[in-house]
Amino acid sequence: MPAIEITDLEFRAGGRLVLDGVSLQVLPGEIVAVMGLSGSGKTSLLRCAMGLVRPQRGSIRIFGQEIVGMPERDLNQVRKSIGFVFQYAALFDSMNVGENVAFALRQHTALGEHDIQDLVASRLAMVGLQGMQGLMPSELSGGMRKRVGIARALALEPRIMLYDEPTSGLDPITARAIDELIVTLRDRLGVSSLVVSHDIHSLLRMADRLALLYDHRFVAVATPAELQASGDPLVRQFIEGRTSGPVSVV
């Protein structure tokens, strides 16, 4: 059974067509990456998969459960199995690192404070930030903020991780470290991951399969090797970052 199964999805925002007949599967333990131009609908796809917005048509199944049209109370239960990593981490600036990671545990579990602190320490250790609980977000580098965001998303032991531009704004070395962390967490925890990004080089080294979103649809879904060997002019233009080709540059 796929961890995520999206079928014939149509999504509009403010009357504007964003996604049109999109279908994609993420298998258990798989990292699937979605790439595309700015404004192509990558983040909208993640938001639909999380149930944060509702599509106009189509199906989204999370481990076989249909979430389109699901009542909010039931949807909240499904969301506990999904960790969402926001583009710029979206940490609560008034809370220290430990409080940020503990937030979902305090909101959605009946755990005692001792157990919460143990889990916070464990999640921070997973992302290489042992002993950083007392730091404030303003004291963190961009890469550290991303790691705290990942630790917070892991707090409820999700089966699925959704990453929105996880390496955006990072230098190449830090970006590579985040890529390696995403793969390590998949290998260690068995989570299924859906990643959206502009960074083609990052995605080629991280993902099991990649999907290219263009003109509201997926125009290619392939392994990194298959994508790099593709003769499709649109695919070649995108992975080579050329301004000339079927994709017009405005």
**In 3D, which of 6, 84, 4 has the Cα closest to residue 47?**
84
pLDDT (0 to 100) of residue 87:
80
Domain holding 14, by residue range, is 1-81+158-250
CATH number at residue 55: 3.40.50.300
Q: In whole angstroms, what is the distance from residue 235 CA to residue 12 CA?
A: 25
Same domain, yes or no: 110 and 149: yes
pLDDT (0 to 100) of residue 246:
86
**In 3D, which of 180, 19, 4 has the Cα closest to residue 84?**
4
Listed residues 157, 179, 199: the one ending a domain:
157
Mean pLDDT, 10 residues at a time, the chain of 250 residues: 96 92 96 89 93 94 95 92 86 93 90 93 92 93 91 93 90 89 93 92 92 92 93 89 78
pLDDT (0 to 100) of residue 250:
63
